[in-house]
Amino acid sequence: MEKLKDFLNFRWLITPRIMPYIFWIGVFIAIVMGLIDIVDGARAGDARLITQGIFTLFLGPIFVRMLCEWFLTFFR
């Protein structure tokens, strides 16, 4: 009963608890997008697309982490 009261009075927040799941979903999406770009670039012989895929593969998860941390600053 106490947890429900805390939840209804906004002393217990949902977002900080689900943020790790959102982070890992974002990392998965960034990695898949990077790999798709690399494969498509290799098939088409497009070096720009391969380079974009490599940057997405490595910088995508960092960007997702930064977005999650920025979002969490509103809830702490």
C-alpha 61/C-alpha 26 separation (Å) is 7
**Domain residues for 58?**
18-72
19, two tokens: 């943020």
pLDDT digits (tens, 9 = 90+) for 1-40: 777 787 777 777 778 889 999 999 999 999 999 999 999 9
Counting the structural domains of the chain, the total is 1
Question: Is residue 7 a part of any domain in this protein?
Answer: no
Higher pLDDT, 72 or 36: 36
Greatest CA separation found in the chain? 62
> How confident is the model at residue 76, as a pLDDT?
67
Question: Is residue 37 a part of any domain in this protein?
Answer: yes
pTM greater than the 0.85 cutoff: no
Q: Smallest Cα–Cα separation from 71: which of 22, 4, 11?
A: 22
C-alpha 28/C-alpha 17 separation (Å) is 19
Higher pLDDT, 5 or 42: 42
Question: Is residue 63 a part of any domain in this protein?
Answer: yes
Q: Taking residues 43-70, what's their average pLDDT?
A: 96
